[in-house]
Amino acid sequence: MARKMWMRGTVAALSATALLALGACSSEQAPAAEGEETTSDDGGETEEAGDELISIGFSQVGAESGWRAANTKSIQDTLTADNGFDLSFSDAQQKQENQIQAIRSYIAQGVDVISFSPVVETGWGPVLEEAKAADIPVILTDRAVDTEDDTLYESFIGSDFVLEGEMAGEWAVEQYDGEGYQMVELQGTTGSAPAIDRKEGFADAIAGSDIEVIDSQTGNFTRTEGKQVMEGFLQKYDEIDLVFAHNDDMGLGAIEAIEAAGMTPGEDIKIITIDAVKDGMQALADGKINYIVECNPLLGPDLAEVAQKVVAGEEVEKRIVVEDKTFDQEAAVEALPSREY
């Protein structure tokens, strides 16, 4: 564990659950004497005791999408012992209660830093207060929490989801206003920041156009649920001209449903998505998706930099906005050969 600029308080109110979880997944090592070598838990790298690793507990949303897989890889590839980190990683399987349990476990372990990508926006006050009482800094990545007290976290690193929705909606208006299009929306996980913000941004951008949103349901950011919801829409409505999916995976599920119904995605029904992961970009290059707004998942390097600064007691920015691009078919064809994720 790194020597902290943070003064750690007594963790007075650890729940029984947290203590049990501690037994199950602690990766804490006994401190080494000065000059002695310690072994990290990532496969035998050694560190001089004067050059200690920053212990960081990261609670991931789940493995729901291609975007999430790329985000997890970025974090695991960056927060390595070689880069000065001892990473404890947990997958919450898209359940807030699992994330709260993981965070409590990291508090009990006394990690140097906690980071997480919140499944949903609300309900984080108590566990963030517990981290604060234990003097453990928290860094949010990817998704925001809905709190008025921004002292509960050090920094939030991630895209501007409202802007992503706006960029998608502006392109829809540019291309399709005046056609009287009927649109369906595949929303992300209910209560999550990207689902709330992308919906809002898109709605604002199409306001005043003649694109009509005839239905909007959650597909939970997964390909399977995106397909199921799209099948329901196709049974319910005689005319659907446009799909706005809050991520590529749900858009790819919609493609399967549209093809199964005997129609051509990208032509009979236009599709706009968000993420720009390889599978989505391939579908865009193939003409099955019409437009994609990027959401950059490579947050590992920013997280590493902010964590190092926080542990060193340096100032960090409260909000670090990751920039996103947009892609039409031509841009996807050009970008695909060198696409990292």
* Dihedral angle, C-alpha 232, 238, 242, 244, nearest 10 °: -20
Nearer to ligand AHR, 143 or 270 (CB): 143
Q: In whole angstroms, how close is the CB of 39 to ligand AHR at the nearest point?
A: 34
**44-60 b/e (C-beta count within 10 Å ≥ 16 → b):** eeebeeeebbbbbbbbb
Q: Which of 214, 269, 210 is nearest to 243 (CA)?
A: 269
Q: In whole angstroms, how close is the CB of 249 to ligand AHR at the nearest point?
A: 6
d(CA 307, CA 309): 5
The residues, any chain, with a CB within 8 Å of residue 229's CB and separated by 6 or more, are 186, 217, 218, 219, 250, 253
Q: In whole angstroms, how close is the CB of 231 to ligand AHR at the nearest point?
A: 20
Nearer to ligand AHR, 109 or 273 (CB): 273
Q: In whole angstroms, how close is the CB of 203 to ligand AHR at the nearest point?
A: 18
Q: Enter the tokens of residue 98.
A: 């699992």
Q: In whole angstroms, how close is the CB of 246 to ligand AHR at the nearest point?
A: 7
Q: In whole angstroms, how close is the CB of 224 to ligand AHR at the nearest point?
A: 13
Nearer to ligand AHR, 121 or 130 (CB): 121
Nearer to ligand AHR, 130 or 248 (CB): 248
Collapsing DSSP to helix, strand or coil, 75 comes out as helix
Nearer to ligand AHR, 71 or 101 (CB): 71
d(CA 286, CA 73): 27
d(CA 257, CA 226): 9
Nearer to ligand AHR, 2 or 320 (CB): 320
Q: In whole angstroms, how close is the CB of 248 to ligand AHR at the nearest point?
A: 7
Q: Which residues bind ligand AHR (CB under 6 A)?
A: 64-65, 67-68, 142-143, 194, 221, 247, 249, 274-275, 295
Nearer to ligand AHR, 121 or 249 (CB): 249
Q: Enter the tokens of residue 30.
A: 């006994």
Q: In whole angstroms, how close is the CB of 292 to ligand AHR at the nearest point?
A: 11
The residues, any chain, with a CB within 8 Å of residue 285's CB and separated by 6 or more, are 329, 332, 333, 336
E-assigned strands of the chain? 37-39, 46-48, 54-60, 85-91, 113-116, 138-141, 155-159, 182-187, 212-218, 242-245, 270-275, 291-294, 319-322, 326-327
Nearer to ligand AHR, 223 or 288 (CB): 223
Nearer to ligand AHR, 86 or 197 (CB): 197
Q: In whole angstroms, how close is the CB of 280 to ligand AHR at the nearest point?
A: 9
Q: Are 100 and 11 in contact (CB under 8 A)?
A: no
Q: Enter the tokens of residue 219.
A: 């597909």
